Amino acid sequence: MRGARGALRSHCLLGARGGGVARHRLYPGVAERLRRCGAEEGVDWVVVTTKGKDFAAALLEQDGLRPTAVHGREDGPKTRVLQRLLEWRQPVWFVEDRLPTLETVMADPRLGGIGCYLAAWGYLRHADRQQLRPPARWLDHAAFCAPFSAWPT
């Protein structure tokens, strides 16, 4: 049943004729910044999302974006995916738009080497910025769009 429901959801979200993906857009400036990661800075960037991998890949594709990898809900919890990324390459910087998820990552001792950033856009609650604790850093839109060498440390 779960597989059939997932297939139906994918069909609806990825369907032709301007389906679900066409209704979604990245935040302003994000696509341009991600393009510069590889082109100007030589940085591999990876998407780790709780959305389906196919949906995320289609969303990125409509903006001509091709990350090194896309990890969706099919790949397991973000903490597990991040642990695999740490084994593959360092450093890893993790930009998240939900404080509870960022706190879960920071609480995992296996992920201590990850730079954690709370994006100033997305699913934030009013008090999230005040509740943010080191080693996580606040990442506003201007900082996100800046070269990595200018990011808060």
Mean pLDDT by 10 residues, the chain (153 residues): 46 49 85 89 93 95 95 98 94 96 97 96 90 96 94 91
Query: What pLDDT, on a 0 to 100 scale, did the predictor assign at position 95?
Result: 97
Tell me the two tokens of residue 49.
Answer: 């999302």
Query: What pLDDT, on a 0 to 100 scale, did the predictor assign at position 153?
Result: 86
Three-class secondary structure of residue 132 per DSSP: coil
* Cis check: omega of the bond before 135, within 30 degrees of 0: yes
Helix (H) or strand (E) holding 122: none
Q: What is the DSSP string of 42-68?
A: ----EEE-SS-HHHHHHHHHTTT---S
**Domains (ranges, CATH) in the chain?**
2-150 (3.40.50.1000)
CA distance 96 to 137: 11
- Cβ atoms of 72 and 56 within 8 Å: the answer is yes
Structure letter (DSSP) for residue 150: G
pTM: 0.84
3-state secondary structure 14-40: HCCCCCHHHHCCCCCCHHHHHHHHHHC
